[in-house]
Amino acid sequence: MKESIKRISGEEISQAVASLYSGACIGPHFAVEEKLTGILAGESAGPGREALEIEIHNLRVAAETRLPICQDTGTAMVFVELGNLVCIPDSTLANAVNRGISRACEMSYLRPSQVFPPLGNRTNTMNNTPAIIHLEHVSGSEIRIRVLAKGAGSENVSSSVMLPPLAGARGIIDLAESCVRAGASKACPPVIVGIGIGGNLETSGILAKKALLRELGEENSAPELRDLEKQITDRLNETGIGPQGFGGKTTVMETRILQQACHMASLPVTVCIECHAHRTASCVL
Amino acid sequence: MRVVTLPASEETLKSLKAGEQILLSGSVATARDAAHNLMLNTGHVPFDVKSIPVFYMGPSPAPPGRVIGSSGPTTSARMEPFIPEMLKLGMKLVIGKGEMSDGTRKQFLQHGAVYLAATGGAGALASTKIVTRKIVAWEHLGPEAVSILELEELPVFVAWDLHGGSIYNRR
């Protein structure tokens, strides 16, 4: 069988990325709204419940007014699965993606939040580039693009650690609990907890981010991790931190774990906290 | 729900109870990390900190026809290194999000200051409660410039009151 090469222009990618990044920041996000509404039904009267009502109302206001859900329109994270039969003849992937991010920032009035250099005068790049791009080469003739607008409030309370190799599930649960106890009130809960286990220093972080991309309510494809995810969510919800840290039953909406092989002497783990707004969008070209 | 109009009297501040949701109206000043750094290094605070609350917030750009873009609070804990000096200058009200340390809480109590928490992530809704915005210093900081906002019934929660009460109680 003769496979034919599919040409996709840099401009097509830029357009797709611009539309995804705007859509992620503004919504509508019906699945998130539905999830939060379900959580609201289980919360008793008090400031935590009232804050959750405001979070839900805000999602609707954003969709109606076309204002970003949150003023922190995040670090633009772009996950690309590039088919081996795809050719982008006129652009590098990074240039095409960054043009899209910059365009969305301007057209949709998103907040530029990237500064350079990180030390010293920290000058704003004014268009939210550079995006952080994670590329996977896959078989096929399509490009799948997923965008996550990752706010700094939740990112700042996330943590990467090299645990002792035999720390086991206990070590993971304790790390997730210490992150959430120390930081959840600053991360706009109810949060999603993404956990990456294995790989090495940098891959556990990427795994944790990719874990956040799983659809709300979707089960882990690794049956042995489903129980651990539930244990972690239940344990974290016992803290009573609640929506916005104002007290309540739900501090964590969901826990998602991704894993891969690691060195026998290591157990790299990243716990990545994601805010309630969970701003994602995806498409296939 | 009661409306609290700024500037708030001492009596009003005393009446606030941790956990209570109020609607805030009147003038507030926005300042984040970079603005605090400049204010305290230059000694120039471009608003009356005794009567105007500090709102830890950096908005997204205003689309045409709007006063301001999305306008939710940022994490208050990042401003903790600047808080002792701001309290000494007479700051009585702070609007931000998230818990701060016990040490900062004691200082709020000593200086008779109240911490209000707006709903983090709810920036679109907050934007609709802002009627005017005037940049008063360091425009080049973009979203971090100091500006004076006129609020009209912005929903906020009393996080730390003057009686030792806190909204952040956990198991």
Per-residue pLDDT of B5-42, as tens digits, reads 999 999 999 999 999 999 999 999 999 999 999 999 99
Q: Hey, what are B50's tokens?
A: 């005794």
Mode of pairing for the β-strands spanning B54-55 and B93-96? parallel
Tell me the shortest Cα–Cα distance from A216 to chain B, in angstroms. Answer: 19
A215 pLDDT more than 70? yes
Residues of chain B found within 8 Å of residue A67, distances taken between Cβ atoms: 60, 63, 66, 69-70, 123-124, 127
Average pLDDT over residues A116-127: 94
Q: Hey, what are A136's tokens?
A: 């996977």
| ipTM of the complex as predicted | 0.97
Which among A68, A245, A276 has the least Cβ separation from residue B60?
A68
Which among B69, B99, B167 has the least Cβ separation from residue A109?
B69
Instruction: Say if B119 is an interface residue toward chain A (CB within 8 Å).
Output: yes
Angle at A248 between CA A188 and CA B151, to 5 degrees: 50
Spans of all domains in chain A: 6-27+69-150, 152-278
- What's the mean pLDDT when you consider all of chain A? 97
B161 pLDDT more than 60? yes
The predicted pLDDT at position B171 comes to 61
Give the amino acid at A251.
T
Q: What is the rounded CA–CA span in Å between residue A78 and residue A81? A: 10
Q: How confident is the model at residue A31 (pLDDT cuts 50, 70, 90)?
A: very high
Q: What is the rounded CA–CA span in Å between residue A198 and residue A207? A: 9
Instruction: Say if B34 is an interface residue toward chain A (CB within 8 Å).
Output: yes
Q: How confident is the model at residue A3 (pLDDT cuts 50, 70, 90)?
A: confident
B78 pLDDT more than 60? yes
Q: Which residue of A has its CA nearest to B70?
A: A71
Q: How confident is the model at residue A15 (pLDDT cuts 50, 70, 90)?
A: very high
pLDDT-above-70 percentage for chain B: 99
Contacts of residue B132, defined as CB under 8 A and 6 or more positions apart, other chains included, come to B67, B149, B150
Tell me the shortest Cα–Cα distance from B165 to chain A, in angstroms. Answer: 12
The predicted pLDDT at position B169 comes to 79
Residues of chain B found within 8 Å of residue A24, distances taken between Cβ atoms: none
pLDDT in tens, B44-69: 999 999 999 999 999 999 999 999 99
B170 pLDDT more than 70? no
The predicted pLDDT at position A118 comes to 97
User: What three-state secondary structure class fits A40?
Assistant: helix
Residues of chain B found within 8 Å of residue A247, distances taken between Cβ atoms: 167, 169-170
A216 pLDDT more than 90? yes
Which among A47, A65, A153 has the least Cβ separation from residue B21?
A47
Residues of chain B found within 8 Å of residue A58, distances taken between Cβ atoms: 119, 121-125
Q: Hey, what are A201's tokens?
A: 């220093």
Q: Do the Cβ atoms of B124 and A65 come within 8 Å?
A: yes
Average pLDDT over residues A142-168: 97
A200 pLDDT more than 90? yes
Q: Which of residues 129-148 of B touch A (CB under 8 A)?
A: 142-143
- What's the mean pLDDT when you consider all of chain B? 97
Average pLDDT over residues A225-231: 97
The CATH number of B3-160 is 3.20.130.10
Average pLDDT over residues A178-192: 97
Average pLDDT over residues A256-272: 98
> What pTM, to 2 d.p., does this model score?
0.96
Which among B59, B70, B75 has the least Cβ separation from residue A153?
B75
Q: Which of residues 37-96 of B touch A (CB under 8 A)?
A: 57-63, 66, 69-72, 74-77
Q: Which residue of B has its CA nearest to A279?
A: B121
Residues of chain B found within 8 Å of residue A29, distances taken between Cβ atoms: none
Q: Hey, what are B85's tokens?
A: 């000096």
A1 pLDDT more than 90? no
Q: Do the Cβ atoms of B125 and A244 come within 8 Å?
A: no
Q: How confident is the model at residue A149 (pLDDT cuts 50, 70, 90)?
A: very high
Residues of chain A found within 8 Å of residue B121, distances taken between Cβ atoms: 55, 58, 69-70, 151, 188, 275-277
Strand partners for A148: A77, A280
A63 pLDDT more than 90? yes
- Looking at chain A, list the stretches that DSSP marks H as alpha helix, in order from N- to C-terminal side: 10-26, 30-42, 47-65, 93-107, 152-155, 168-183, 201-212, 223-237
Instruction: Say if B30 is an interface residue toward chain A (CB within 8 Å).
Output: no
